[in-house]
Amino acid sequence: EAGVVQSPRYKIIEKKQPVAFWCNPISGHNTLYWYRQNLGQGPELLIRYENEEAVDDSQLPKDRFSAERLKGVDSTLKIQPAELGDSAVYLCASSSFGSGVSEQYFGPGTRLTVT
Amino acid sequence: ILNVEQSPQSLHVQEGDSTNFTCSFPSSNFYALHWYRWETAKSPEALFVMTLNGDEKKKGRISATLNTKEGYSYLYIKGSQPEDSATYLCAPNSGGSNYKLTFGKGTLLTVNP
């Protein structure tokens, strides 16, 4: 079974430029998460989708960040314009929502450097 | 926002040593505790999910215990190997939801051959 796929793996951009990250979750997983991990910190949730609906985007900086999951499968996270403080690892995870504890499966992340 | 503490922040051990790390979290509204291992340039890998006070889980040379009443979990590695070098993250769920993980900063383990 293929895991969570993310691209690109690395991205270097200048500040004020736009950037987009793509995630394809594990087949059949209806819940998708985007996390951001700043240097020296643990991952922090940015947004959670159940199918195509964003059910928790309380931590997403909406002035410059946007996300979509149009068909309830893959997802794109965008930053426009990027700032120096956006340099981080952006992780995508997926899970199969149901009763009991849901394990989240992570992709390898996109390491963003803003110069 | 939960206050999740992991200690130590980093650890260097020799191959063959046994070691352990601590994850502390608020004991109120506890639902589950997840442990992940994250090797550089790879995906974070799920190690354990624990829900009940007194839970003990084991996977090869790695084991974990859970105390929900006092709000801590221990992760043990027996006979560390260089391939165990990674960051170990803990993440409790809280508030009755089973999705909202709050990660600690992790413990960076380096095993020297």
Structure confidence by residue, pLDDT tens digits, B41-95 = 899 999 999 999 999 999 999 999 999 999 999 999 999 999 999 999 999 987 5
Q: The tokens of A104 are what?
A: 């989240």
Number of CB atoms found within 10 A of residue A20's CB = 15
Backbone angles phi, psi at A42, to 5 degrees: -85, 165
B40 touches chain A (CB under 8 A): no
Question: Residues A60, A48: contact at Cβ < 8 Å?
Answer: no
B31 contact residues in A (CB cutoff 8 A): 101
What is the residue type of A53?
E
| Cα–Cα distance, B64 to B73 (Å, whole number) | 7
Cα→Cα distances B107→B12, B44, B71, Å: 11, 13, 18
For B12-48, what is each residue's pLDDT tens digit? 999 999 999 999 998 887 889 999 999 998 999 999 9
Measured between beta carbons, which residues in chain B are less than 8 angstroms from residue A108?
41-43
